[in-house]
Amino acid sequence: MSDPFLLFDLLLAGAVIALAIATLTVRDLFAAIILFVIFGLLSALAWVRLSAPDVALAEAAIGTGVTGALLLKTLHHLRYVTGSLGTNAVESLSPVQPVPAGVSWANAAFCGLITLGLATAFLGAPHAGPGLEGLVAEAMPASGVSHPVTGVLLNFRAYDTLMEVVVLLAAVIAVWQIERGLSDAPAPALGEVWEGFARLTLPAIIVVGTYLLWKGSEAPGGAFQGGAVLAAVGLMLLLSRLYVPRPAHRAVARWAFVLGTGVFAGVALLVASGGRVAFEYPLEHAKTLILLIEGLVTISIAVTLAALFHGREPVAVPAERGDNDA
Amino acid sequence: MLEIIATAFIATGAVFFIAGTVGLLRFPDIYCRLHALTKADGLGLALIALGLALMANSFGEVFRILLIWFFVAVASATGSHLIASHARLVDRVHENDPDRERQT
């Protein structure tokens, strides 16, 4: 590695750590979210420098874009609940209730354990070994796709990816259990400039999201990145009130949530019933099956993330809380 | 020759980005800061995109750089418009608020 890049990498690493510390220590919640978003963007850049463009795309789209939007929406709700909406940021830093010390310590303990585990894994890994690249490259012809990362995610280690999709499904189920009805917090007025921007960019986002998904079989991209980009369409529609979730849409939404997980698991079972291991796709159908799974998982991810941003199950009358028609 | 021109464009673009950042840090209120940031960064981005387009290998790459430039420019203009209009809204609520002078 040449010298100028080493300097750049050191600066980048320093900036990422400094931003992480600043995010945790700054008292203004809004500033904390903005710092977190910048932290995510620089982390994405760090992944690019580590030659992992797939992870960089996922970090930028999900870890930064969608998570940032979720955090901002939460802050909007918090400010509404504490009655500090429309006032200055500094006055609205106290949450509804202070976090109990026990929760903080439990959080710290879990983070410490994860750090310890990562450190053990890092130190225990073979130094400068060939890694698994050789094995993957050898098995690539059997995967049905030409991009190694997609081969690993959707074929060799498809179980892990299935579990990731299940995690998203579990998240949206939990959110819909917790809260129902319409948000009382007023939607921010965004104005005509925003509407023009939305009209201009919505078609482009759809094209980019689909492109990321399609490109995934031969280049960095795939279901999670494409899904997160497509989720941005949902976010913009919800923000500009072009789409307002109604109770009648719940059935469609539920099908969309389950679609990815269902088809993913269904294909695994179907393959397994033919006397093979769960994700051992027959070679002649491997690309078709992977594209089918990725396409439907993308739809699920996009709808789920948009639903998480909306944050509650749409119910016509908020008084109908006992209504258990799930 | 083309590389030298491209490098010159990118370097000039970087200078505009630095100027925008200095403006963001030094200017007194949010409107001046936005002005510095959007004007300087907009020009900086255009120059860097132009420099990169000169070094691109294929027409497809040039087209993609053009698209990226267009959407970043539109998004940053929209974003700064939203920030400014929200700041005006908050300003009207707090007519005489000393907090506006806060240094970043």
Specify the pLDDT at position A19.
Answer: 94
Q: How far is A86 from chain B (nearest CA, A)?
A: 6
Flag whether A286 is in a domain.
yes
> Do the domain assignments include residue A131?
no
Domain assignment of residue A191, yes or no: yes
pLDDT of residue A322: 40
Is the pLDDT score of A91 beyond 60? no
Rounded to a whole number of angstroms, the distance from the CA of A136 to the nearest CA of chain B is 30
Would the CB atoms of B82 and A190 count as touching at under 8 Å? Answer: yes
The angle formed by the CA atoms of residues B96, B97 and B100, to the nearest 5 degrees, is: 125
pLDDT of residue A94: 54
Question: Mutating which of B30, B66, B70, B78 best tests the A interface, going by the most A Cβ atoms within 10 A?
Answer: B78
| pLDDT the model gives residue A320 | 40
**pLDDT at residue B60 greater than cutoff 80:** yes
Q: A-contacting residues of B 65-94, CB under 8 Å?
A: 67, 71, 74-75, 78, 81-82, 85-86, 89-90, 93-94
Q: How many domains does chain B have?
A: 1
pLDDT band of residue A318 (cuts 50, 70, 90) is very low
Chain A residues within 8 A of B78 when measuring between CB atoms: 193-194, 197
Using 50, 70 and 90 to split pLDDT, how confident is the model at B5? very high
Residue A113: pLDDT band with limits 50, 70, 90: very high
The boundaries of the domain holding residue B30 are 2-101
Give the tens place of pLDDT for each residue, A157-201.
778 888 888 998 999 888 888 877 666 677 777 778 888 888 888
Tens digit of each residue's pLDDT (9 = 90 or more) over A39-76: 999 999 999 998 888 889 888 888 898 999 999 888 88
The mean pLDDT of A9-31, rounded to a whole number, is 91
Structure tokens at A189: 């007025």
With CA atoms as reference, the chain B residue closest to A195 would be B78
pLDDT greater than 60 at residue B101: no
**How many Cα atoms occupy the beta-carbon half-sphere of A163 within 13 Å?**
5
Q: Is residue A272 part of a domain?
A: yes
- Contact list in A for residue B67 (CB cut-off 8 A) is 204
Mean per-residue pLDDT for B68-91? 87
Q: Express as a percent the part of chain B with pLDDT over 90.
A: 32
Residue A65 lies in a domain: no
* Residue A250 covered by a domain: yes
Chain B environment of A188 (Cβ under 8 Å): 86
Can you read off the two tokens belonging to residue A140? Answer: 């690539």
Q: Residue B1: is its pLDDT beyond 60?
A: yes
- Kindly state whether residue A121 falls inside one of the protein's structural domains: no
Q: Do A87 and B90 touch (CB under 8 A)?
A: yes
Model ipTM value: 0.78
A211 is a domain residue: yes
Nearest residue in A to B82, CA atom: A190
Cα A156–chain centre separation:
22
Tell me which of A128 and A153 has the higher pLDDT.
A153
The predicted-structure confidence for A26-47, as pLDDT tens digits, reads as follows: 888 888 999 999 999 999 999 9
- The per-residue pLDDT for B84 is 87
> Count of domains in chain A?
1
Lowest mean pLDDT among A13-22, A178-187, A200-209, B45-54: A178-187
Among A41, A93, A190, A206, the strongest candidate for a mutation testing the B interface, having the largest count of B CBs within 10 A, is A190
Structural domain containing residue A208 = 146-326
Of A74-83, A99-108, B88-97, which range is least confident?
A: B88-97
Coil, strand or helix at B102: coil
Q: What's the pTM value of the predicted model, to 2 decimals?
A: 0.81
Nearest-by-Cβ selection for B99 from A90, A188, A197: A90
Query: Which of chain B's residues have a Cβ under 8 Å away from the Cβ of A200?
Result: 74
Tell me the C-alpha distance between B50 and B40, whole Å.
15
pLDDT digits (tens, 9 = 90+) for B26-50: 888 888 888 888 888 889 999 999 9
